[in-house]
Amino acid sequence: MKLRKNAFWIALALPGVLWLAVLFIVPIYAVLAIGMGKLDQLIEAPVAVWNPLDWSSSGVINVWRDIFGGAAFAGPIIIRTLVYTVIASLLCLLIGYPAAYFVARFAGRRKALFLVLLIAPFWISYMMRMLAWIDLLSTGGYVNKALGWVGISPVNWLGGSAVTVVLGLVYGYIPYLIMVLYAGLDRIDHAQLEAGRDLGLGRFRTFVYVTLPLSRQPILTGLLITVLPMLGDYYTNQMLSGAASTSMIGNLIQGQLGTPGLEGQGAVLSLMLLLVLLIPMVYYVIATNREASQ
C-alpha cells in the first residue's frame, strides 16, 4: 500500500534523480578517477582509474609539490587568488552595504525603480559587462581621456594591472552581494528599529546596535555568494589583464585542463578547491534554508 501510494511520486522524481546521478554524481567521480588515475606516457593522456583500491597518489603528490615545494609555482598563484578575493569581497561589502541599506530602508515609493536598477546587472551578460570596461579602460578610452583632462598621462589599465583585476571582480560580483543584503535588510522588522529609537538611540546608534547585528547573517551569505565564484574565476582577469602576473587559481585549473598530460593535475586541483569550499557551501545551504523557513 505504501509503495503504491509512493509509486506515482517516485515515477515523477525518477527522471531527475537519474539525470543527477549520471550527469552530476558520476562526472564528479570521474574527476576523482582522473585525478587519482595514471598518465599514459605514450599518448600523454590521462587514464581514469575507477577502482579506489588502485588509485595512485602521484597526481596529488605532484600538485602538493607545485603548491608547497621548493620551486612551487602554484603556491604564489593561490596566495594571489586569496588576496584578490578577500580585497574584492570586502570592497563589494563596503560599496554594497550602504546601497542595499538605502534601498531597503529609505527608498520609499521609489523602491521599485531602485530595485530594477539594482537587479539590471543580473540580466546583462557578464562578458558584456567586462567588454564595456575594456572599452572604457583602453588606451584611448574615456577613463584615460578623463585622466588627461586633469593632466595625468594615460595608464595602461589592461596590461596586467592587479588594480584593474580586483576592480573587475568587484564590478562583476557586487550585484549578487547587494541582492542578498537587500533581501536581508528588507526583512528586518521595523518595530525593532522603532524600539531602538524609542529607547533614545539616535540614527547612528540604532544602526550600530540594531541593524548591524541583525544583518550579520545576510553579510555572511552575501560574502559567500561572491567568494565562491571568485575562487573559480578565470575569465575576469583573462579579459582585463591576461598577464601571468595576475593569474588566479581558476586560470591554473583551466590552463591545465587544456594541456595534454596535465588534465590529471587540473582534476586534483579542482578537487582540492572543492574540498576547501565544501564547508562554506554546506553552510550556505543551511543558512539559506533557515532563512526560507523563517
- Interaction between residue 287 and another protein (CB under 8 A): no
If the CB atoms of residues 67 and 91 are measured against another protein, the closer one turns out to be 91
In the complex, the smallest distance separating the C-beta of residue 70 from another protein, rounded to whole angstroms, is 28
C-alpha cell at 214: 541583525
x/- track of binding to another protein for residues 18-57 (CB under 8 A)? -xxx-xxxxxx-xx--x-----------x-x---------
Contacts of residues 100-109 at CB distance under 8 Å and 24 or more positions apart, as own/partner, are: 100/178, 100/179, 100/181, 100/182, 100/185, 101/181, 101/185, 101/211, 103/182, 104/181, 104/182, 104/185, 104/186, 104/188, 105/185
Q: What angle do CA 28, 30, 32 make, to 5 degrees?
A: 75
Q: How many residues belong to the chain?
A: 294
Query: Scanning residues 163 to 222, which ones bind another protein (CB under 8 A)?
Result: 171, 174-175, 179, 183, 190, 193-194, 197, 202-203, 206
If the CB atoms of residues 67 and 95 are measured against another protein, the closer one turns out to be 95
Q: How far, in Å, CA of 47 to CA of 235, rounded? A: 28
Which whole-number Å values give the CA distances from 14 to 22, 25, 255, in the listed order? 12, 15, 37
If the CB atoms of residues 72 and 134 are measured against another protein, the closer one turns out to be 134
- Interaction between residue 254 and another protein (CB under 8 A): yes
Interacting span for another protein (CB under 8 A) from 71-79, 80-88, 107-115, 147-155: 107-115
If the CB atoms of residues 244 and 285 are measured against another protein, the closer one turns out to be 285
In the complex, the smallest distance separating the C-beta of residue 40 from another protein, rounded to whole angstroms, is 11
| β pairing state of 38-40 and 45-47 | antiparallel
If the CB atoms of residues 71 and 223 are measured against another protein, the closer one turns out to be 223
Query: Scanning residues 112 to 171, which ones bind another protein (CB under 8 A)?
Result: 112, 114-136, 138, 140-142, 145, 158, 171
- Interaction between residue 64 and another protein (CB under 8 A): no
If the CB atoms of residues 70 and 189 are measured against another protein, the closer one turns out to be 189
- Interaction between residue 260 and another protein (CB under 8 A): no
- Count other Cβ atoms within 10 Å, centred on residue 188: 16
Q: Exactly one of 82, 99, 147, 188 binds another protein (CB under 8 A); which one? A: 99
- Element of type H or E holding 37: none
